[in-house]
Structure 1
Amino acid sequence: MKKIIFVGGGASAFFCAANLDDTKYKIIILEQNADVLQKVKISGGGRCNVSHACFNPKELVQFYPRGSRELLSVFTKFQPGDTMEWFESRNVPLKIEEDGRIFPESNSSQSIIDCMQKEISAKNIEVKTQSVVKQIITTENGYKIITKEGEFDADFVVFTPGSSPKTLKIIEELGHSTIPAVPSLFTFNIKDELISDLPGTSFLNAEVAIPKLKTDESGPLLITHWGLSGPAILKISAWKARELADLKYQFEIKVNFLGIDKEDAEDLFNDYKNVNTKKTIGSSRIFDITNRFWHRILWLSKIDLEKNISQLTKSEIQNLLENLCNRKLKVTGKSTYKDEFVTAGGVNLKEINFKNMQSKILPNFYLAGEVLNIDAVTGGYNFQACWSEAWLIAQDLNSL
């Protein structure tokens, strides 16, 4: 019986192994950490954002800053609808939330972990944790995987260990070229009097632009202890991951907290003022923002909270609207988005056959997951790439 060795015990490895025909192969999963499926466990705040409800492959690939062209053919064979069917057929019901993200109905990542571990156990697949792979050597009949604990011979290798520098060095020694990995999906560190002491304040649909890179994104925005986060920030960090790394995470952003044009905001302000002539500006509720943030904006705009709204000067109104719709903030660094570390970079995609995820350089050698130069915006898309790539590998191996 031929042997398959998985290097890495994450989402791609387990999903691929769960779909293999174990009557054909002896299968071993090598994981360097004490626990497997660590990213699955922490995804979505511990709920596991399994995928996203985007069922058209041509639309789905639009959420991948790197790998969109290559993934199109992959998603035509296995897409989020197939992922949902796979888990639900194994008694793990899933739900689609309003924003399109897909989670288990249990709201616990453990449901996903238990499901895959059950599939693995049923197939008698051996899982070896704390097995750090130091080197992979090609042999006459396949591969020799060298770990600190010993050596393993393999007819087939499925390489899914993530994108750490050590991982990329192993694959480079085997002849693959790589693009250096840089962080993606990160929050912006900002120290500014506008947002200090306001963590937890959120905005439903803000706009964020990086003038130097001529790019912008919109979506929910969140003030954190360190600066700004939320989908608007995470999306822009993913699309411009490499450019922001080149800037050493020192740059200026322009934030529109209202998500509407300044002229429209001025119209809303004047309409409110005309109807509420006796209101103080501090007690006015004009825009969909918190009271604390409104008072901070007024303070920053040097407007007395007790001043009657009808007495505001044109310059005061313009200053107020500028701070709401065109506020410039200096970014001085980044913070990883929770513990869900995602990178841009990895194995050169030109060296992969996306019909089956096999290396074009190494025979019987498959790659999937974050080791590839593929990444997506937040929302379950990164996991979907893992499931789809892993499924293709399993189908190819099952057909041999």
Structure 2
Amino acid sequence: MNSNYDIIIVGGGAAGFFTAINIVENNPKLKVVILERGKTVLEKVRISGGGRCNVTHACFVPNDLVKFYPRGEKELRGPFHQFCSGDTIEWFEKHGVELKIEDDGRMFPTSDSSQTIIDCFFGLTQKLKIDILTGQSVQSLFHGDNYWKVETNHETYSCQKLVMTTGSNPKIWELLENMNHTIIPPVPSLFTFNIKDARIKDLMGVSAFAHVKVKGTKLEASGPLLITHWGMSGPGILRLSAWGAIILAEKKYQFVIEINWLNDVTFDEAMESLKELKQEHAKKIVSKKSPFDFPNRLWESLVLASSISDETKWADLTKVQLTNLTNQLTSGQFQVNGKSTFKEEFVTAGGVDLREINFKTMESKLHENLFFAGEIVNIDAITGGFNFQNAWTSGFIVANSITTS
């Protein structure tokens, strides 16, 4: 049996649905199908942002927005001028989903539920008569004269235009490689650091705004840092993991980080503060209360790590102890041994080489009528709604180029 469609979209995630909906909204005559290998669609949308779906980020200037993409910064400038985060907000509002901005710029549905986005997409695919077929694992792709054949484990489908939105699916990358596309080998891009260290052993759940550097590299980032039972996480660490994806993979995730728990306070400034505290609080016990803007438990741990007992008073601090404490505060070193995938945001660096894509249309430069959207290409971003924005922008461009050509 041969199923004919105008357009086949392989991959039932955010980019796949957004592309399909925009295609049929632009041209209701087109027959479109989404083929998904899993039992369910939109799985990443469901779990993203802790089940709230971090739809985009409140950064509305294309030239600023591109700076959040370790891979894709240069290529996305043009696309973001066509469809940016402001357009995303407008698109969702027009389709009945209101978004809100949180303090850190992340944007979520006002319902605080990813189900709102899923319901919106399902409602539209039904209304627009877009077929959704699950359990369809693509086995082969064939490019004929003016048509494409897609063979799955169930059936062979044919179409005029083919859109790949399969994210980081190694099987699909292999099929594209067989068609002469270059695939940049994938490495994890958002991950947390595994650290076993007495200073953070019992501090699970403690968070502080810190500056983190990877020793021996130019990698550094500031942001909230969260201590977990396996090491360190939080936006500051995830930002570092995204920018350092390739370097840290080459180091096999064995490296040393240097943490300034006072963020941008220098060694000398911190030393001055401690000397003042020594005079002001002479009779008080050093370890009892954090004089800085981070939790007492962390302060106590850094004090003990500086060879200062939990009975020592400020007046009794020696010069060596003051130096130790200043070092712990502004340049504490921690050995990282391995990584853990950040549960919600499994993102990889790697994918279809960006040089083989026309970013005005998102069409392959090697094969006519083959388009890409989302994370299948070598684009990834730090956490905060940016990976979804790439999905919406690339999907929008694919839909426009298909329906205006």
**Superposition TM-score, scaled by structure 2 size:** 0.96
Tell me if 1:16 matches 2:22. Answer: no
Asked if 1:230 is matched to 2:222, the reply is no
Q: What is the CA distance between 1:357 and its match in structure 2?
A: 0.5
Gaps of 5+ in 2: none
2:346 aligns with 341
Alignment RMSD: 1.2
Q: What's the offset of the Cα at 1:287?
A: 1.2
Name 1:322's counterpart in structure 2.
Answer: 327
Deviation at 1:247, TM superposition (A): 0.8
Find the counterpart in structure 1 of residue 166 from structure 2: 161
Show CA shifts across 1:224-263 (max 9, x none): 1111111111111111111111111111111112212122
Partner in structure 2 of residue 299 of structure 1? 304
Q: Is the 8 A contact 2:7 2:160 kept in 1?
A: yes
Measure, in 2, the Cα distance between the counterparts of 1:397 and 1:214: 42
Distance apart, 1:174 and its partner CA: 1.8
Given the alignment of the two structures, is residue 99 of structure 1 paired with residue 109 of structure 2, yes or no? no
**Contact 2:5–2:158 (Cα < 8 Å) also in 1:** no
SS at the partner of 2:338? strand
Residues 295-321 of structure 1: per-residue CA shift (max 9 Å, x gap): 211222221222211111111111112
Secondary structure in 2 matching 1:387: helix
**Residue 217 of structure 1: aligned partner:** 221
Equivalent positions of 1:167-316 (< 5 A) are: 167-203=172-208, 205-259=209-263, 260-316=265-321
Q: Which amino acid is the alignment partner of residue 110 of structure 1?
A: Q
Question: Which one is further off, 282-291 or 83-92?
Answer: 282-291
Instruction: Report the count of equivalent residues.
Output: 399
In structure 2, which of residues 30, 34, 39 is the aligned counterpart of residue 29 of structure 1? 34
Q: Aligned letter for 1:20?
A: I
- What's the CA shift string for 1:45-93, capped at 9, x where partnerless? 1111111111110011011111111100000000000000111112211
Task: Report the alpha carbon displacement of residue 325 of structure 1 after superposing the two structures with TM.
Answer: 1.4
Tell me the residue number matched to 1:134. Answer: 139
Question: Residue 2 of structure 1: CA displacement?
Answer: 5.4
- Larger deviation, residues 44-53 vs 262-271: 262-271
Q: Distance in 1 between matches of 2:282 and 2:290?
A: 13
Partner of residue 143 from structure 1, selected from 129, 148, 157: 148
1:123 to 120, 128, 143: 128
**C-alpha distance in 2, partners of 1:161/1:284?**
51
Greater CA drift, 368-377 or 206-215: 206-215
CA contact (8 A) 1:235 1:378 kept: yes
Pick which of 209-218 and 329-338 moved more.
Answer: 209-218
1:172: how far off?
0.9
* Equivalent AA in structure 2 for residue 73 of structure 1: G
| Contact 1:268/1:286 (<8 A) preserved | no
2:277 partner letter = Y
Q: Which one-letter code corresponds to 2:343 in the other structure?
A: K
Match of 2:226, SS state, is: strand
Distance 1:277 1:297 in 2: 19
Q: 2:54 matched to which residue of 1?
A: 49
1:269 positional shift = 1.9
- What corresponds to 2:7 in structure 1? 4
1:151-197 alpha-carbon deviations (Å, 9 max, x no partner): 11111101011122212101111221111011001111111111112
The corresponding residue for 1:76 is 81
Q: For residues 269-314 of structure 1, what are the alpha-carbon distances to aligned partners after superposition, in whole Å with 9 as ceiling and x for unaligned?
A: 2222322222111223311222221221122222122221111111
Q: When the two structures are superposed, what TM-score results if normalisation uses the length of structure 1?
A: 0.97
Runs of 5+ consecutive residues of structure 1 not aligned to the other structure: none
How many Å separate the matches in 2 of 1:190 and 1:77?
Answer: 43
